[in-house]
């Protein structure tokens, strides 16, 4: 039996699992299709609830994989189950026999342009959470030319939405919206900031404090209601219509910038690999774990493991915990086979 473990996905999940398995003495091969490691984290500015710099976290995760073999710009071309191992052919021409494979393929952001009524890709002043994060990170976005005076955030874009085909909650976007609303106030102190939400899911430690701070210190206004329509007037200002479900009254707000909180969907590149192995998916499109309490890291196929957002929306700490749990599950799998 060989000592090889292939990890698919070089985001925080794949990095953490690689570091743990490498420390345990396994021969880890990390495969990342992008030209750099880090996944979405590499494009993020600050993390809720404390506002830690994403780069600091990523630098640490990358430092921890010292000695791990990894391939960038590389995809899995084919993967076949043999008697006791998997034969994996990579797009760089390398073939690897691996005893275990970890799917750490993460998530894609919901394509906001699919919700046409919000106007992403139609109106310049409509951007996504990822666009705003990139703006905070780089200070650049061609759509933010002057300091906006009125900024709105729309929660649940492509999540909790039957029409979009996604009934589930994406878990992290309420906290992201509140964090970004505070940061928007810091970047544009004169701006009025509104959050349009269905209900707020601020479940984690420190998240409720962040929500209270957003109201008390930053003056963010929370409006309970779903946005029904976004249009642009002749001055290129956005007209946002919503129903305030607390007062029961329709409201109309004029904004200079609207930020859509795009939710999480399973990563399509990961799904492509999973399809080669006929791995099961749930109705929500995420991979099916062996069970949802005791065996979250196991798939229905021997030697194939899961960690992170490929089995459903996760926070970053949850993802890192799962990466460590997967490393232990893989270690136990090797022990059982000896």
Q: Least distance (Å) from ligand SF4 to the CB of residue 130?
A: 14
Cβ distance to ligand SF4 smaller for residue 70 or 207: 207
8 binds ligand SF4 (CB under 6 A): no
From the list 290, 305, 295, the residue with the least C-alpha distance to 17 is: 305
Q: What is the 3-state secondary structure (H, E, C) of the chain?
A: CCCEEEEECCCHHHHHHHHHHHHCCCEEEEECCCCCCCHHHHHCCEECCCCEEHHHHHHHHHHCCCCCEEECCCCEEEEEECCCCEEEEECCCCEEEECEEEECCCEEECCHHHCHHHCECCECCEEEHHHHHHHHHHCCCCCCCCCCCEEEEEEEECCCECCCCECCCCCCHHHHHHHHHHHHHHHCCCCEEEEEECCCCCCCCCHHHHHHHHHHCCCCEEEECCEEEEEECCCCCEEEEEEECCCCEEEEEEECEEEEEECEEECHHHHHHHHHCCCCECCCCCECCCCCCCCCCECCCCCEEECHHHHCCCCHHHHHHHHHHHHHHHHHHHHHHC
Among 171, 179, 185, 314, binds ligand SF4 (CB under 6 A): 171
179 binds ligand SF4 (CB under 6 A): no
Among 76, 169, 277, 330, binds ligand SF4 (CB under 6 A): 169
Return the range that interacts with ligand SF4 (CB under 6 A); candidates 109-117, 132-140, 168-176, 327-335.
168-176
Cβ distance to ligand SF4 smaller for residue 197 or 305: 197
Contact letters (x/-) for ligand SF4, 185-224, by CB under 6 A?
-------------x--x-----------------------
Interface size with ligand SF4, residues (CB under 6 A): 13
Contact letters (x/-) for ligand SF4, 127-166, by CB under 6 A?
----------------------------xx--xx------
Among 173, 182, 309, 327, binds ligand SF4 (CB under 6 A): 173
Cβ distance to ligand SF4 smaller for residue 76 or 174: 174
Return the range that interacts with ligand SF4 (CB under 6 A); candidates 170-178, 217-225, 240-248, 250-258.
170-178
Q: Least distance (Å) from ligand SF4 to the CB of residue 305?
A: 26
Cβ distance to ligand SF4 smaller for residue 155 or 179: 155
Q: Do 298 and 292 meet the contact criterion of CB atoms below 8 Å apart?
A: no
Bridge partners (DSSP) of residue 243 are 250
Which two structure tokens, joined as six digits, stand for 48? 């809720």
d(CA 289, CA 325): 13
Q: Least distance (Å) from ligand SF4 to the CB of residue 115?
A: 13
* Interface positions, 43-72, toward ligand SF4 (CB under 6 A): none
Cβ distance to ligand SF4 smaller for residue 89 or 198: 198
Among 20, 99, 128, 170, binds ligand SF4 (CB under 6 A): 170
Q: Least distance (Å) from ligand SF4 to the CB of residue 97?
A: 41
CB under 8 Å to 83, separation ≥6 — which residues?
A: none
Which two structure tokens, joined as six digits, stand for 265? 């969907």
Contact letters (x/-) for ligand SF4, 258-287, by CB under 6 A?
---x-x------------------------
Q: Least distance (Å) from ligand SF4 to the CB of residue 246?
A: 16
Q: Do 69 and 29 meet the contact criterion of CB atoms below 8 Å apart?
A: yes
Q: Applying CB under 6 A, which residues contact ligand SF4? A: 155-156, 159-160, 169-171, 173-174, 198, 201, 261, 263
């Amino acid at each position: 039996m060989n000592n090889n473990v292939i990890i698919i996905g070089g985001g925080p999940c794949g990095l953490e699992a690689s570091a743990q398995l490498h420390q345990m003495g396994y021969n880890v091969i990390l495969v990342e299709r992008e030209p750099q490691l880090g996944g979405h984290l590499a494009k993020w500015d600050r993390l809720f609830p404390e506002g830690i710099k994403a780069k600091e976290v990523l630098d640490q995760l990358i430092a921890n994989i010292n000695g791990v073999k990894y391939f960038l710009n590389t995809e899995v071309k084919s993967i076949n189950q043999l008697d006791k191992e998997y034969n994996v052919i990579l797009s760089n021409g390398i073939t690897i026999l691996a005893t275990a494979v970890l799917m750490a393929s993460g998530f894609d952001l919901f394509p906001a342009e699919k919700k046409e009524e919000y106007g992403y890709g139609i109106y310049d002043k409509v951007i996504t959470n990822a666009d705003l994060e990139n703006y905070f990170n780089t200070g650049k976005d061609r759509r933010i030319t002057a300091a906006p005076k009125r900024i709105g955030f729309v929660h649940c874009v492509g999540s909790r939405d039957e029409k979009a085909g996604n009934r589930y909650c994406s878990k992290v976007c309420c906290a992201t919206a509140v964090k970004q609303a505070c940061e928007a106030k810091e970047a544009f102190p004169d701006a009025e900031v509104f959050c349009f939400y269905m209900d707020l899911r601020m479940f984690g430690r420190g998240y409720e404090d962040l929500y209270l701070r957003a109201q008390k210190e930053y003056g963010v206004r929370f409006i309970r209601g779903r946005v029904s329509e976004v249009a642009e007037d002749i001055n290129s200002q956005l007209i946002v219509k919503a129903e305030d479900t607390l007062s029961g009254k329709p409201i109309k707000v004029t904004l200079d910038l609207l930020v859509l909180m795009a939710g999480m969907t399973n990563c399509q590149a990961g799904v492509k690999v999973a399809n080669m192995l006929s791995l099961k998916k749930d109705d929500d499109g995420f991979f099916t774990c062996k069970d949802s309490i005791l065996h979250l890291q196991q798939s229905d196929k021997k030697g194939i493991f899961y960690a992170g957002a490929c089995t459903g929306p996760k926070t970053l700490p949850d993802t890192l915990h799962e990466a460590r749990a997967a490393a232990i599950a893989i270690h136990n799998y090797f022990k059982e086979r000896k």
